[in-house]
Chain A
Amino acid sequence: MIFRKLKILSDEEMMKIVEGAFRILKNTGCRFDDEKCMDELEKQGCNVNRDLLVARFSEEIIFDALDNMASLTPLDDRPKARVASATARKILDYKTKKMRPGLARDVRDVILLCNNLKNITMASAGVMASDVPEGAIEVYNTGILFKYSEKLFNQWITDPDSVEAVFEIAKIITGSEERLSELKILSCMLDSTSPLTYLKGRLKIAREYARLNLPVAICAAPQTGVTAPASLAGCLVLCVAEMLAGLVWLRALDTKSPVALGHLAARTDPVKGRRLSATPEHTLMNLGAHQIIRYLGYTAGISGFSSDSCDFDLQMGWEKAVSGVLSWAAGCDMLGRAGMIADGFSIEQLALEDEVLDMLYRVGEGCVVDDDALALEVVKKVGPGGNFLAERHTLSHARDFWTPKIFSRKNYSQWTAEGKKTVADTAHEKVSEIISKKSLSLQIPEDKAKAIDEIVGKRIEKLGGSLKGGDAL
């Protein structure tokens, strides 16, 4: 298999974009909304304007960061990508086709599903539970995920006040801060606010994670024609500039945090001004960003498997295929947003993505080319006009073929006779079955679970809520 060869920029084009980012950082710079950063960046050699909280960067400083900041280790079992379940405020009610606020019980359902969907490699809580006090949601989700998730998980922390409690929970798992630093079971996202700004809260969170050498994903999420140039190359220049500015700042912290760079830019709907996430322009930017990030020597994360459709229709399948397959074929290391439909989460969508990933991984296994597979002797034996069906060789390979679990292979008559069920209906049945027949089981010792509940409970109480024993609300 020779995947990871899909390139959409020539080396020369890629260099122009990177050099453009260097120029922007040198002439315009980047704003860090925290005076402390000015000290850190000045010490690193940046030209800082403390009144404007702006730092400008020389080439040498950027190269120093690129040379010295370690990359998060990518997966070694290529061509598989790390596929992460998403987290949204709302969740789709499949029967009514309406979005409703996420609830704590949804979090449990999503974790249960992630545990049972083999191709979703990183779990998430799926939703921000609206029945948990606002400032405690991230802590609650982290606690539940540590208790019940059988997989690595993603729970970005956006509230600086949650960091302490989240670290306390992680330390219960690892035993100490030193072990947490070694095991790196938490990570954070340092996302810029385009154009060219890092907000104080995000910097505060990232500083804490960097102090413990925990992984940091530096992400740029501009919107073409609004917070970035409308031209794709220009938007990429801005993204790269913002990522590099974040990288230099992390370097200034003298951290050993491994870094991933993420591209979450979106194309704008010129008429309505909305962010669109599955247009061809968006996919092109994803591929270009991925290529540049790999060139810079880092693990890349992008929002693959995107769709702008609000229904489980052909558009959604097609858009997810275009964005996901191309990102995967280009060798992207991390694909986020699994389970998203419009701006909400859907458990049916998560199951469908598990199915399509299974199919894609079969493609990734490629064709075996050896004497047995080339089957020259079998062809000679069967000869012109013969049939391979009864051959032992056919029998011995009959189980090599991929079998769908949700997708349908029914012909028109069968499909009609069975009520014209859509693939989303089948996905709904599958997730309902998992949720009704399986249950969450503790992944950590009882005493640790209890200690986590106490931390979560304290956080909730502080904000006016309460836990009714265990992690029940």
Chain B
Amino acid sequence: MIFNRLDILTPEELERIVDTSCSMLEQAGFRFEWDFALNLMREHGCKVDMDAQMVWIPRRLVMEALEKMHPLAAPQEYPKLFWAPWIGMKFIDHKTQQPRSGTLQDCKNIINVVNHLENVSVSSTGVVPQDVDNRLPDLYMAELLFKYSEKIFTTWTFTVDTCRDIVEMALAVTGGEKELKESAIINYLAEPVSPLKLSRHSLEIIKLYGEMNQAINMGSMVQVGTTGPATLAGSVALQLAEDLASLAYLYCLGSQSPVSLGGPMQVADLKNGNCLYAPPELPLIHLGIVACAHHLGYLSGCTSGLTETNYPDFQNGWDRGMSMILLWAAGSEALGMRGQIGAGQGFSLDELALENEMGGMMMKLSQGISVNDDTLALDIIESVGIGGSYSKLDHTNKHFGEYWKPELFSHEAFEEYWANYKHLALRAHEKVERILESYSLELQIPQDVADEIDRIRDRRIERLKG
């Protein structure tokens, strides 16, 4: 297999973008909204204006950070990418199909379903629960994932206090600091505020995760036309500049955290200011940032594979397919925001089930064409000869067994399909129903560790009450 070959930028163009990103950090500067970070950057040779909270990062420091930091390891299993669910505020109600606020029970259902979708490789709670203390949803989300997820997971960390609690939960799960540092079971999306700014809470969280060597995904959210230039190359350069500023900060902290570059870049509809989820410009900027990350020796992830539609129709499949396939063919190691539907309308379990089906197809594509004596089948072609049939051969039966088999997609003939008509949306819905009816969440950690996680959560609740 020779994938990772879809390049949209020449080496010279990539160099120009990297050069521009470095110039942005040297000339435009970067705002670090925390005195600790400002002092740290000054100690490492940056020009700093404490009053304005501005840092001008020299190219030398960026290059040093790129050389010394460790890239996150690429997934080894087909389709060789992290396939991670979205986390939104709204949930598409499984019964009514109407968007509503997410609940703790939705989070549990989503974890349960993700546990049983073989192609969704990373878990999340899918939604931010709105039926808990609004200062603590991120803590409840982490608690559920630590206890019930069978897979590695990603979650939001809204506050520094929650970050401390999550690290403590991770320590309880792994058994101690040494074990946690070696296991890297939690991760953080370091999200600068575009353009060119890191808030204090992000800087503190990066420090806390960085000290424990947990994975940090450098991913700002430049929006083409509003928080970034309206030109694609300019926004890619800005995004990369923000990723590199975060990387330089992590390097100055002396962290051993594995790192990836990339992020959920966006495109604004300049007619009305709406955020667009599936314009053709989006995979282009994502392809650009992935190419830059690879050029610099780092893994990359993005949020392509989204749709503007509210229903699993042709556009939904095309929107997702075009961008996802392009990014995958270009070698992006992570595709986030799975389960999202309708211009950020909400998280839908039915959509996630459909994307799991797509993932199965991509996995088969990733395996490519096997070329060996058995698959070339020269002896068989010669023995069947001219005008013969391959239907009843052992070779045929064996290879038929290797073909991809859809669970939700239809391979029926036209008349048969319409005679037994059941829309794909309903087929996906029924699959989710089957999972929820057949499986219940089970603790994935020993009871005493789960008790410790509960204790950390309850302690925080008590503190807030106090």
- Cross-chain contact B280 with A402 (CB below 8 angstroms): yes
For A334, list chain B residues within 8 Å (CB). Answer: none
- Cross-chain contact A237 with B5 (CB below 8 angstroms): no
> Shortest Cβ distance from A263 into chain B, in angstroms?
13
Interface residues on B, range: 35 or more
Nearest B residue to A382 via CB reads B195
- Cross-chain contact B312 with A313 (CB below 8 angstroms): yes
Known: A227-B389, A314-B313. A393 touches B396 (CB 8 A): no
A314 CA / B426 CA spacing, docked (Å) = 12
For B3, list chain A residues within 8 Å (CB). Answer: 6, 8
In the complex, whether A387 has a CB less than 8 A from a CB of chain B is yes
A468 CA / B73 CA spacing, docked (Å) = 73
In the complex, whether A374 has a CB less than 8 A from a CB of chain B is yes
- Cross-chain contact B399 with A373 (CB below 8 angstroms): no
Residue of A98, A226, A409 with highest tally of chain B CB at under 10 A: A409
In the complex, whether A24 has a CB less than 8 A from a CB of chain B is yes
Residue of A23, A408, A416 with highest tally of chain B CB at under 10 A: A408
CB-CB contacts below 8 Å: B303-324 with A? 308-322, 324
> Shortest Cβ distance from B407 into chain A, in angstroms?
12
For B17, list chain A residues within 8 Å (CB). Answer: 369, 374
Cβ 8 A contact of B226, one of A7, A308, A319, A388: A388
In the complex, whether A74 has a CB less than 8 A from a CB of chain B is no
A237 CA / B195 CA spacing, docked (Å) = 54
A31 CA / B387 CA spacing, docked (Å) = 8
- Cross-chain contact B414 with A312 (CB below 8 angstroms): no
- Cross-chain contact B382 with A228 (CB below 8 angstroms): no
A236 CA / B409 CA spacing, docked (Å) = 26
Q: Which of A212-220, A283-291, A442-450 contacts B (4 or more CB under 8 A)?
A: A283-291
- Cross-chain contact A367 with B288 (CB below 8 angstroms): yes
Q: Which of B201-209, B366-374, B444-452 contacts A (4 or more CB under 8 A)?
A: B366-374
Q: Which of B27-35, B144-152, B181-189 contacts A (4 or more CB under 8 A)?
A: B27-35
Cβ 8 A contact of A229, one of B20, B284, B362, B380: B380
In the complex, whether A233 has a CB less than 8 A from a CB of chain B is yes
> Shortest Cβ distance from A335 into chain B, in angstroms?
14
Nearest A residue to B312 via CB reads A314
Q: What per-residue 1/0 map shows which CB atoms of B226-254 lie under 8 Å from chain A?
A: 11111111101110010000000000000
- Cross-chain contact A23 with B378 (CB below 8 angstroms): yes
Known: A28-B386, A225-B390, A310-B418. A284 touches B313 (CB 8 A): no
Known: A234-B380, A274-B413, A374-B17. A321 touches B400 (CB 8 A): no
> Shortest Cβ distance from B98 into chain A, in angstroms?
9
- Cross-chain contact B375 with A232 (CB below 8 angstroms): yes
- Cross-chain contact B390 with A363 (CB below 8 angstroms): no
In the complex, whether B438 has a CB less than 8 A from a CB of chain A is no
For A116, list chain B residues within 8 Å (CB). Answer: none
CB-CB contacts below 8 Å: A134-162 with B? none
In the complex, whether B89 has a CB less than 8 A from a CB of chain A is no
> Shortest Cβ distance from B52 into chain A, in angstroms?
9
For A412, list chain B residues within 8 Å (CB). Answer: 99, 310, 342-343, 345
CB-CB contacts below 8 Å: A361-378 with B? 362-363, 366-370, 372-376, 378
Nearest B residue to A370 via CB reads B233
- Cross-chain contact B311 with A317 (CB below 8 angstroms): no
> Shortest Cβ distance from B40 into chain A, in angstroms?
18
Cβ 8 A contact of A197, one of B10, B54, B387: B387
> Shortest Cβ distance from A390 into chain B, in angstroms?
10
- Cross-chain contact B320 with A318 (CB below 8 angstroms): yes
Known: A8-B369, A17-B376, A360-B322. A393 touches B230 (CB 8 A): yes
Q: Which of B118-126, B132-140, B267-275, B455-463 contacts A (4 or more CB under 8 A)?
A: B267-275
Nearest B residue to A399 via CB reads B270
Q: Which of A58-66, A103-111, A167-175, A417-425 contacts B (4 or more CB under 8 A)?
A: A417-425
Known: A231-B399, A232-B370. A401 touches B279 (CB 8 A): yes
Cβ 8 A contact of A312, one of B99, B229, B313, B354: B313
Q: What per-residue 1/0 map shows which CB atoms of A343-386 lie under 8 Å from chain B?
A: 11000000010001001101100111110111110111011111
A342 CA / B7 CA spacing, docked (Å) = 34
Cβ 8 A contact of B233, one of A31, A329, A374: A374
Q: What per-residue 1/0 map shows which CB atoms of B374-415 lie under 8 Å from chain A?
A: 111110111011111111010111111101100011111111
Cβ 8 A contact of B234, one of A197, A232, A326, A374: A374
Known: A1-B8, A380-B28, A384-B196. A231 touches B374 (CB 8 A): yes
- Cross-chain contact B196 with A385 (CB below 8 angstroms): yes
A237 CA / B369 CA spacing, docked (Å) = 12
In the complex, whether A472 has a CB less than 8 A from a CB of chain B is no
> Shortest Cβ distance from A176 into chain B, in angstroms?
41
In the complex, whether B50 has a CB less than 8 A from a CB of chain A is no
Q: Which of A182-190, A264-272, A459-467 contacts B (4 or more CB under 8 A)?
A: A264-272
CB-CB contacts below 8 Å: B16-75 with A? 16-17, 20, 23-24, 27-31, 54
For B314, list chain A residues within 8 Å (CB). Answer: 312-314, 316-317, 320, 352, 422-424
Cβ 8 A contact of B371, one of A17, A228, A274: A17
Residue of A288, A375, A383 with highest tally of chain B CB at under 10 A: A375
- Cross-chain contact A342 with B403 (CB below 8 angstroms): no
Cβ 8 A contact of A237, one of B24, B311, B343, B381: B381
- Cross-chain contact A384 with B411 (CB below 8 angstroms): no
Cβ 8 A contact of A226, one of B309, B389, B418: B389
> Shortest Cβ distance from B218 into chain A, in angstroms?
17
For A1, list chain B residues within 8 Å (CB). Answer: 8
In the complex, whether B435 has a CB less than 8 A from a CB of chain A is no
- Cross-chain contact A54 with B386 (CB below 8 angstroms): yes
In the complex, whether A432 has a CB less than 8 A from a CB of chain B is no
- Cross-chain contact B317 with A320 (CB below 8 angstroms): yes
> Shortest Cβ distance from B78 into chain A, in angstroms?
11
Residue of A99, A285, A423 with highest tally of chain B CB at under 10 A: A423
- Cross-chain contact B229 with A379 (CB below 8 angstroms): yes
A427 CA / B289 CA spacing, docked (Å) = 34
Known: A225-B396, A229-B390. A315 touches B279 (CB 8 A): no
A99 CA / B273 CA spacing, docked (Å) = 43
- Cross-chain contact B270 with A394 (CB below 8 angstroms): yes
In the complex, whether B439 has a CB less than 8 A from a CB of chain A is no
Q: What per-residue 1/0 map shows which CB atoms of A113-146 lie under 8 Å from chain B?
A: 0000000000000000000000000000000000
> Shortest Cβ distance from B118 into chain A, in angstroms?
16
A213 CA / B43 CA spacing, docked (Å) = 76
A315 CA / B422 CA spacing, docked (Å) = 13
Q: What per-residue 1/0 map shows which CB atoms of A390-410 lie under 8 Å from chain B?
A: 010110111011100001111
In the complex, whether A437 has a CB less than 8 A from a CB of chain B is no
For A272, list chain B residues within 8 Å (CB). Answer: 411
For A196, list chain B residues within 8 Å (CB). Answer: 385-387
> Shortest Cβ distance from A406 into chain B, in angstroms?
8
A241 CA / B16 CA spacing, docked (Å) = 47
Known: A310-B410, A313-B314. A233 touches B361 (CB 8 A): no
A394 CA / B3 CA spacing, docked (Å) = 36
Q: List 22 A-B contacts (CB under 8 A).
A: A6-B6, A20-B376, A225-B390, A225-B391, A230-B393, A231-B376, A233-B372, A234-B380, A274-B411, A308-B411, A314-B313, A342-B417, A343-B413, A360-B322, A363-B326, A375-B238, A379-B237, A394-B270, A396-B230, A397-B231, A398-B225, A411-B345
Q: What would 16 more interface pairs be, CB under 8 Å, given A195-B387, A359-B322?
A: A3-B6, A7-B5, A9-B369, A16-B371, A225-B391, A233-B370, A270-B403, A309-B424, A314-B314, A315-B409, A321-B321, A326-B329, A363-B284, A380-B27, A397-B231, A400-B231
A residues at B contact (CB < 8 Å): 1-3, 5-10, 13, 16-17, 20, 23-24, 27-31, 52, 54, 97-99, 195-197, 224-234, 236-238, 241, 267-270, 272, 274, 276, 279-281, 283-285, 288, 308-322, 325-326, 329, 342-344, 352, 356, 359-360, 362-363, 366-370, 372-376, 378-380, 382-389, 391, 393-394, 396-398, 400-402, 407-412, 415-416, 420, 422-424
Top 3 A-B residue pairs of the complex, sorted by shortest distance between their CB atoms: A317-B317, A321-B321, A375-B234
